[in-house]
A and B are shown apart, each in its own frame.
Chain A
């Protein structure tokens, strides 16, 4: 680490990128949209937490989780349980046969609050549950899987099954979870009406701020040695293992972190949208969240945010005008992003827009939001390139020779999959 101290926490481009995003999220969007649309963007941003987690987990760690919706849902449900208990005080639920319990429990002939709902009356407990419960769950899955060296496709299938199990469970246990409808009709947070316009604006800013904290945390991880180990592990797991690292622990860590991000996103979702339902937990939403990340560029932290916003915005536009076309567009997007643009928007930005930007932007270094790994021979270059070390890549290397980038692109894609590198 010592001799690498010349790598900065953020390159000039990255600083520019973060400032740009901050301006867009905190100034341009709130000033130009009405509260309804702002709330919608806020909802999209909650998915960006998941996409961000996937960039770390899938893009950097090479672990594709198709069960991120589970963590999103767990976080969201923890928040919703607190809000629901607050909304169902004995006074406002006195028409029920058992006042003081959530309405859907009353409809399902449950006469007593289940014991595991009880602690969610306290906000501190609910808040810590939002963060800790999904992380703990991810930890258990991670330990069980990664310690046994299960990875790649198997991990994807098993996380997907977990998402399926979770949905069936939530829908089946209607009396305790609200079933298909989920937990609805949430009103206040400690007496503060979350449905009012001003609350929606404030929650939007809280959500953006939380997203920035997560972004900076991810940036920090990427810049630390941990980030390099993740990349190395993704590309050549055996070599990292032979170097004496316990690969499983790093995988568990990054998986837990992505689960935590998703859970925070889920909680923010509940606050802004005012309900939580199993339709955000299952297989379909979980895999859609992967596409947000893929569209933005699976190696780009900022790209995850833009990708999420773009896909969801397109989804809203399509659903409003041609609802029947949306699934076609979504399907085509999945195929296109995999076959034609494996590095998503970030690579397009890097290839077509960045070279046109003025010199002050690029400075003397050539660091990217979406590092394109150029030559794959050694782990060291892979590291350095992925992290954009200024020593190893000159500014001219990929800018002056776009054809190089084009020809080596397929190599990059092969290397993206953790543990399945084929010699």
Chain B
């Protein structure tokens, strides 16, 4: 199958596929980071995570519209405002959901799964009622369009680079939040031993609420970034939820590095396979490999050594 390509062309193709994989990787990491906090740290399965992401995407869509209509002069910078708004909206909804639902279900993870699935159905239908069943897309500001030519044959889209930079930024932010801040220390303490964390004066309920909120907020940012490379519909979130869960589980639920590594592996293998096979077969094979590895190594790639 390679006869028709020269060696140089093959390298270029590999590079371009690799870059496409990097964009997919960025989106997966952004989505998975929120889930890694909620599932990995809190042990809560949030099936509505995809819908939180879509909420962020719709917030971005609305913001872009508002800027287009009322503040065309500032349109170039709308994206940063949109991201902040997406974070805030999702954070607020996340806190509300935690307060109204999740906190009663901490000891019943399977039930949380079903309840948040119910939430995701309600959110989906709300989006459909409010925004219509059709997919919407945002207008990108001028500077984000087009592509950057690295060599004569290799071109990389600018919005892709932007998403990657954003991912880097958010990932390091999450790292500092979880491992270098007082709040992160409290979260980890609550996760490891709830009664003891409470005994030393940590308000565990509050920590849970904000942890869940921040996880959802990051999903919102992921959704915001998602609008730059694809359009958004009411059920877009559901398409990604399985991938995202697999990323988190595959990486080892409690390890952020693992999440990033597994997102990288999954996205790269998928985009590389996509070049050789049809898109659906590439996905099937990637997922099968992941499921196969998980069956052999259920704790994931990077498992923390903890006493069970």
Point out residues on A near B: beta carbons under 8 Å: 58, 64, 66, 144-145, 148-150, 152-154, 156-158, 160-162, 164-165, 168-169, 171-172, 283-284, 287, 290-291, 294, 324, 327-328, 330-335, 337-339, 342, 413-414, 416-417, 420, 422
Contact = CB atoms under 8 A, between A and B. Distances in A.
B115 interface: yes
18 contacts: A144-B296, A148-B296, A150-B294, A152-B109, A154-B298, A157-B249, A158-B291, A158-B295, A165-B288, A169-B280, A290-B114, A294-B114, A324-B129, A331-B120, A334-B114, A339-B104, A416-B111, A417-B110
Contact of B122 (A58, A156, A327, A342): A327
B107 interface: yes
Given A158-B291, A283-B242, A413-B108, A153 B114 contact: no
Given A283-B242, A330-B121, A416-B108, 11 more contacts: A145-B298, A153-B43, A161-B242, A171-B280, A172-B281, A290-B114, A327-B121, A334-B118, A338-B105, A338-B115, A416-B111
A339 B104 CA distance: 8
Nearest to B126: A328
Closest 8 CB pairs of A and B: A334-B118, A172-B280, A331-B121, A331-B122, A327-B125, A144-B295, A150-B298, A331-B118
B238 interface: yes
A346 to B, nearest CB: 16
Contacts of B95: none
Contact of B117 (A148, A161, A287, A342): A287
A165 B113 CA distance: 20
Given A150-B298, A417-B110, A160 B242 contact: yes
Residue of B110, B111, B121, B288 with most chain A CB atoms under a 10 A cut-off: B110
Interface residue SS majority, chain B? helix
Contacts of B209: none
B46 to A, nearest CB: 12
A153 B248 CA distance: 13
A23 to B, nearest CB: 32
Contact of B113 (A153, A162, A342): A153
A145 B295 contact: yes
A365 B218 CA distance: 55
Contacts of A148: 295-296, 298
Contacts, number: 132
Interface residues on B, range: 35 or more
B278 A339 contact: no
B114 A291 contact: yes
Interface string B179-204: 00000000000000000000000000
B267 to A, nearest CB: 16
Contacts of B246: 157, 161
Interface string B124-146: 11001100000000000000000
Contact of B278 (A172, A284, A335, A342): A172
A145 B298 CA distance: 8
B294 A158 contact: yes
A169 B238 contact: no
B156 interface: no
B245 interface: yes
Interface string B253-291: 000000000000000000000000010110110011011
A124 B279 CA distance: 37
B20 to A, nearest CB: 19
A414 B107 contact: yes
Contacts of A66: 113
Given A152-B110, A283-B238, A417-B111, A168 B284 contact: yes
Interface string B42-65: 010100000000000000000000
B291 A162 contact: yes
A75 to B, nearest CB: 21
B108 A417 contact: yes
A328 B126 CA distance: 8
B13 interface: no
Contact of B111 (A168, A283, A328, A338): A338
Given A150-B298, A338-B105, A339-B101, A328 B113 contact: no
Contacts of A420: 107-110
Contacts of B112: 338
A187 to B, nearest CB: 30
Nearest to A157: B245
A337 B110 CA distance: 13
Contacts of A331: 118-123, 125
Given A154-B298, A327-B122, A339-B105, A165 B111 contact: no
Contacts of B294: 150, 154, 158
B291 A153 contact: no
Contacts of B125: 324, 327-328, 331
Contacts of B111: 338, 342, 413, 416-417
A294 B115 CA distance: 11
A171 B284 CA distance: 11
A382 B290 CA distance: 38
A337 B284 CA distance: 33
A399 B287 CA distance: 51
B151 to A, nearest CB: 34
Contacts of A338: 105, 108, 111-112, 114-115, 118
B115 A334 contact: yes
